[in-house]
Amino acid sequence: MVNRFTDWQQDLSKELIKSKRRRKLYFEALQNEYSNDLEVLRAIVKVIGLKEFSTLCGIPSSNISNYLKKGKDLKISTIKKLISPFGVTTVYIPLDNAA
């Protein structure tokens, strides 16, 4: 069995994987709880599961894990790939919090 985050929720994960609309609504709901969208991505990956999120965005799970570490600089193209499963076109990541 794959190691899972304690936040992983199998039923919610399945629902979010099946529906892009639900993923977008979930992303937007979490935007109200976190100070920037990189934190939202970290929280969603914990809920969906790293392997499942990797499949959704077409990026190897080891890369996603590295990208979402605090202090990691990301290119805009990488951020676009990470948010592509949510149907979100713009993200909020202040420059002083991105690193």
Chain position carrying tokens 């965005």: 57
pLDDT of residue 1: 39
Q: How would DSSP label each residue in 3-61?
A: ---TT--HHHHHHHHH-HHHHHHHHHHHHTTSSSHHHHHHHHHHHH-HHHHHHHHT--H
User: pTM of the full predicted structure?
Assistant: 0.76
Dump pLDDT digits (tens) for 6-64.
Answer: 666 778 888 888 888 999 999 999 988 988 888 888 898 888 889 889 999 999 999 99
Dump pLDDT digits (tens) for 58-99.
Answer: 999 999 988 888 777 778 788 888 988 998 877 776 665 444
Are the CB atoms for 85 and 20 separated by under 8 Å?
A: yes
Are the CB atoms for 70 and 98 separated by under 8 Å?
A: no
Class of domain 10-98: mainly alpha
Angle CA 85–43–53, to nearest 5:
35
